[in-house]
Each structure stands twice: as C-alpha cells, then as structure tokens.
Amino acid sequence: MVALTDSVSTITAWANDSGYEAVFEEPLRALGRAGDLLIALSGSGNSANVLRAVTCAREKGLRSFGLTGFDGGGLRKLADDGLHVESSEMEVAENAHMVVMHMVVCAIRDWMRAEPASP
C-alpha cells in the first residue's frame, strides 16, 4: 500500500518539475501496476491533480474508487466505483471521507494480520 500524499518533499518536487496538476499522476505512472486499486478523494470531485491520477490509473489498467462530495464533479463520472456524499458543505464531505478511510485502513490491517506469513 502506497499513499501518494505521504511525502511533502516528493509532492513539491513533482510540482516544481511538472506542476501541481501532476503530483499524483507522475508517481502513479512509476508505481502503479495493472490490477492495483487507486482510492481518489476530492470534496468537489473536480481537483485537476486527482482527475489526472484517475485518468492515468485507467490507462495503466488500475481500478479506481472515488470519494466525492457536492455533485461529485468529474471524479464521480471517471472513477470505476465510488462513494458520493450528498452535501454542499466541504467539512461534511471531508468528515465522511475520513470515516470511510479509517474503516478501509482497519479492514486492510485486519486482512494483513489474518494472512499467513510468507516463507
């Protein structure tokens, strides 16, 4: 599991070289593999850097799951699947997204604990 938002220095390096629109797309090109899952969050659903990452994911054969608010914007249409929070308040959408992501992380942790150790 890789969080493309995990390193501020990486994000600013990509932004300096390619612009903020590419800060998720560029590392995804290098790290993403067909069959992976990209979880994309955008309160408005219209964040250019998120939309470009989802487009890149599609080109590379990754699946995408979008978390959106407001009317869902472009992300709601572009992602393979998703969860839409019907709210015009950013705080409400973001809080719902945090709850969902907490549940996802807990599920992944439980799944990893249940997996037998590799030789």
Per-residue pLDDT, 119: 65
**Residue 102, domain member (yes or no):** yes
Each residue's pLDDT tens digit, 95-104? 999 999 999 9
Per-residue pLDDT, 115: 73
Sheet containing 63-68: which strands, arranged edge to edge? Answer: 37-42, 63-68, 81-84
Each residue's pLDDT tens digit, 63-90? 999 999 999 999 999 999 999 999 999 9
**Residue 1, domain member (yes or no):** no
Q: How far apart are CA 4 and CA 51, in angstroms?
A: 14
Each residue's pLDDT tens digit, 7-46? 999 899 999 999 999 999 999 999 999 999 999 999 999 9
Q: How far apart are CA 15 and CA 37, in angstroms?
A: 23
DSSP string across 20-45? GGGTTHHHHHHH--TT-EEEEEESSS
Domain that holds residue 79: 8-114
- The number of domains in the chain is 1
Q: Per DSSP, which regions of the chain are E strands?
A: 37-42, 63-68, 81-84
